[in-house]
Structure 1
Amino acid sequence: MSAADRNLAVAHAEVKAEIARTDAKTGLLLAFVGAVFAGAWTVARALPLNLPACLAGAFGMGLLVAAAGLLLRSTRPNMRGAHGFPLWATLTPAEIPGALSNDLAADIAGLSRLAVAKFTSLRRAVDLTCAGGALLVLAVLFALGGAV
């Protein structure tokens, strides 16, 4: 194996590992968003809510739902067959070695685009989660301020 082939293999493994890390972070954040959503719903039912608390809470919950949607979209499987399993599932056993030996650089480029798209969705979901959480805290402050 030449140095260039080794470098391509290392880059390919690195991109696949980054996709796996992003998917793991996405799963954790999705669980966190679900827990915050459930907790906020429980707290909202127990507090006396005034109009500002309802508005801030509703907008915060909306942002959490949008974040969950982004996270789910990020983890949605790519079934177009461009990379990995879906492509291999369409090939005969004799065609698989040829597909594996094809241009690794093209596969790295395609997987890198996929990784960037997943990372971008994750980043946006984190931003929405932070904004939604801040609005939920504001809603609690409004509710407690209105109750006093």
Structure 2
Amino acid sequence: MIAREQNLTAAHAEVKAEIARTDTKTGLLLAFIGAVLAGAWTVAKDVPLNAVSLAVGGAGMTLLIVAAGLLLRSVRPNTKGRHGFPLWATLTAEEITAALSENTLSADIAGLSRLAVVKFAGLRRAVDLTCAGGALLIVAALIAAGGAA
């Protein structure tokens, strides 16, 4: 019985660590996207651009903005009270004691695992959109440089 509880505790810690890693990666990617958007805007406003480079660059910027939206959605706090702090904030002291006396670790692992998968899928989509948006910005810069020559 002790081994089972240790395994559940280890699995719970692993899922929580994966959520934390995903949130950290999300924060880093958001900062990167913000820097790319700011840099692209700064360059684009000072360089004469033709219609094609504007269209391609605009599409790239749009993809980066959509990626940032996905990232923000994946780190949006869950305040529905199903797991963790929001749940405790809705209970009385007696209800918290009663809830903690039950062994609900496996249910918590399942719920957190589903949350981790959703966060990971959002991060994955955002990375794909960031790559596509970056590629379009590079193409727009090449088109602008070729048109200027």
- Structure-2 residue corresponding to 1:107: 108
CA distance in 2, matches of 1:122, 1:71: 6
Secondary structure at the aligned position of 2:93 is classed as coil
Q: Which residue does the alignment assign to 2:30?
A: 30
State the one-letter code of the partner of 2:42: T
Task: Normalising by structure 1, report the TM-score.
Answer: 0.97
Residue 66 (str. 1) matches residue 43 (str. 2): no
The range that moved more, 70-79 or 88-97, is 88-97
2:10 matched residue in structure 1: 10
1:145 equivalent in alignment to 2:141: no
Secondary structure, counterpart of 1:3 in structure 2 = helix
What is the CA deviation profile of residues 111-138 of structure 1, one whole-angstrom value per residue up to 9, with x for unaligned ones? 0000000000000000000100000000
1:83-109 C-alpha deviation (Å, 9 max, x unpaired)? 000000011122223323332111100
* Residue 81 (1) aligns with residue 81 (2): yes
Q: Structure 2-normalised TM-score?
A: 0.96
* Residue 132 of structure 1 pairs with residue 133 of structure 2: yes
Moved segments of 4+, more than 2 Å: none
What is the distance in 2 between the residues matched to 1:93 and 1:102?
A: 18
Q: Give deviations 1:24-74, integer Å, cap 9, x for gaps.
A: 110010010000000000011121101110011000000000000000000
The alignment yields a C-alpha RMSD, in angstroms, of: 1.0
Letter of the 1:102 partner, please give it.
N
Structure-1 separation of matches of 2:28 and 2:57: 23
Alpha-carbon distance change, 116 to 126 in structure 1, aligned in 2, over 3 angstroms: same
Match status 1:52 vs 2:52: yes
> Structure 2: which 5+ runs fail to align?
none
- How many residues are aligned here? 148
Structure-1 separation of matches of 2:97 and 2:129? 44
Q: Point out where structure 1 has 5 or more consecutive residues left out of the alignment.
A: none
